[in-house]
Structure 1
Amino acid sequence: MGKFFDHMQPQHREFIERQKIYFVASAPLSANGHVNVSPKGLNSFRILENNKVAYLDITGSGNETSAHVLENGRITIMFCAFDGPPLILRLYGQGRTVLPGDAEWHELITLFDNVPLSTRQIIVADVDQVQTSCGFGVPYYDYTGERDQSVKWAENKGEEGLKAYREEKNRVSMDGLPTAMF
């Protein structure tokens, strides 16, 4: 049975800081809408406070999380132990999008090292519940490094190419919801 906390404990923070991958889930309000789950890496996650986190969101083929948090705010972030003792940790909360033109952007972006050209926004989540569970069914995996395809892809597109791509692919969610990008 899982354990619930109203904020991240020191052991939760330590666990999160050791992880190389995490998963972000969001969903529209519509019962016919699609639930989205996205894997994230690239040292893109930061703990801001015991109840506030942020991550760099890079340009991708969709922009579901942005659309969902704009519509309803709901977000879940999950970490799994793929090495060491088993553990699953979920952060439940309300998310929002911070764009490069927003006042908060300048403060947040300095928290990240090696910001990829493909960074389109920062997702900030106010965490209202933390859950841990056993993770006994999660297999072991070895971390062998980060992929560089997204960096090379963005460099090849350039700033103008990225703007055009986002206009084409990131304006609305797959369910037709607007994103915070536009």
Structure 2
Amino acid sequence: MSATKFFDEIPDDEELIQWIKAQYLFHVATAPLNDGHVNVSPKGQPSLKLINSKAIWYLDLTGSGNETISHLYEPGNSRMTIVFEAFEGPPRILRLFGHGRVIERDDPEFDQLVNRELGAYGWPTPEVMPGARAIIWLNIDKVSISRGSSVPLFKFESHRDTLKKWSEKAEKTDSQYEDPYTLPPLKSLRSFWLHNNSWSVDGLPGYRHVLDKADEGFVRKAMSDVGLDYDYSLASRKGMPNWWLTLFVGVGVGVLLSTSLTLVMRVWA
């Protein structure tokens, strides 16, 4: 059993690069800053692109949740880890630690990235599949490589096409309506984004493309689905930086203490 090895970037190792490229599955982990739910999402499909030894991105497809995007948008946050495991051949676990950012589909940078054919390592750009809502970019701070000797062996059969077929049909439906956001969410991609991707389960703002169309009801539903009570303090934060929130809380506590002290002095006077 060998010890875990750490690096500041992905090692310049052709065998390792080809191994990353050959993986059919990887996992993405993020979490809110204070309490809340730690999220781990499995990712399939040919959606990954290694830019260089310090950066990698993947095409984010529509999902029933929105945790990764919400966590990366949280002011002062952006922590993210991508994990690869060897399910065939010699055991290996590769972790890419770093800070992520979201590039939504209506952002000009999204088109710039997906229209680049090749990058470093001759890595092809993933095809923009139906239902793609964003690119998730990771700036790599640290890399770890361990053996993963307990990871089971599996044989890959095929990618599932359920999401692709549903997304194709939903996008086609959207194109036939002037305001697809009014359609039932299971028939419309944009309506689905609105109902399921506006907020995280902890009440953090999510997919900005539809956020202005969401209201308190969506936040309440997202939180009640996991047994949480609606928390207006979280929902109302939206884009408020953490240091501003701390400042407001500090000022409020200061005013409260000052008022209490004044009352006490009056009583004793």
Which residue number corresponds to residue 190 of structure 2?
A: 163
Residues 1:151 and 2:154 aligned together? no
List aligned pairs for 1:62-81, cutoff 5 A.
62-71=65-74, 72-81=77-86
* Contact 1:97/1:180 (8 A) holds in 2: no
Which residue number corresponds to residue 5 of structure 1?
A: 7
Higher relative helix content: 2
Deviation at 1:110, TM superposition (A): 2.4
Higher relative strand content: 1
Q: TM-score, normalised by structure 2?
A: 0.65
Give CA deviations for 1:108-167 in whole Å, capped at 9, x if unaligned. Answer: 122534321100000001000000111100010000111000001112222441011000
Secondary structure at 1:10 match in 2: coil
Distance in 1 between residues matched to 2:107 and 2:164, nearest whole Å: 24
Distance in 1 between residues matched to 2:207 and 2:65, nearest whole Å: 12
List aligned pairs for 1:1-182, cutoff 5 A.
1-11=3-13, 12-31=16-35, 33-71=36-74, 72-111=77-116, 112-158=125-171, 159=174, 160=180, 161-181=188-208, 182=211
Secondary structure at 1:171 match in 2: coil
Instruction: Point out where structure 2 has 5 or more consecutive residues left out of the alignment.
Output: 117-124, 175-179, 181-187, 212-269
Distance 1:132 1:28, change over 3 A: same
Identity among equivalent pairs (%):
41
Root-mean-square deviation (Å): 1.2
Q: Which has the larger radius of gyration?
A: 2
Amino acid of the structure 2 residue aligned with 1:95: G
Deviation at 1:10, TM superposition (A): 3.0
Q: TM-score, normalised by structure 1?
A: 0.95
* Contact 1:6/1:128 (8 A) holds in 2: yes
Instruction: Specify which structure has the bigger relative contact order, considering alpha-carbon pairs within 8 angstroms and separated by 6 or more residues.
Output: 1
Distance in 1 between residues matched to 2:202 and 2:21, nearest whole Å: 34
- Say how many residue pairs are matched: 181
Instruction: Point out where structure 1 has 5 or more consecutive residues left out of the alignment.
Output: none
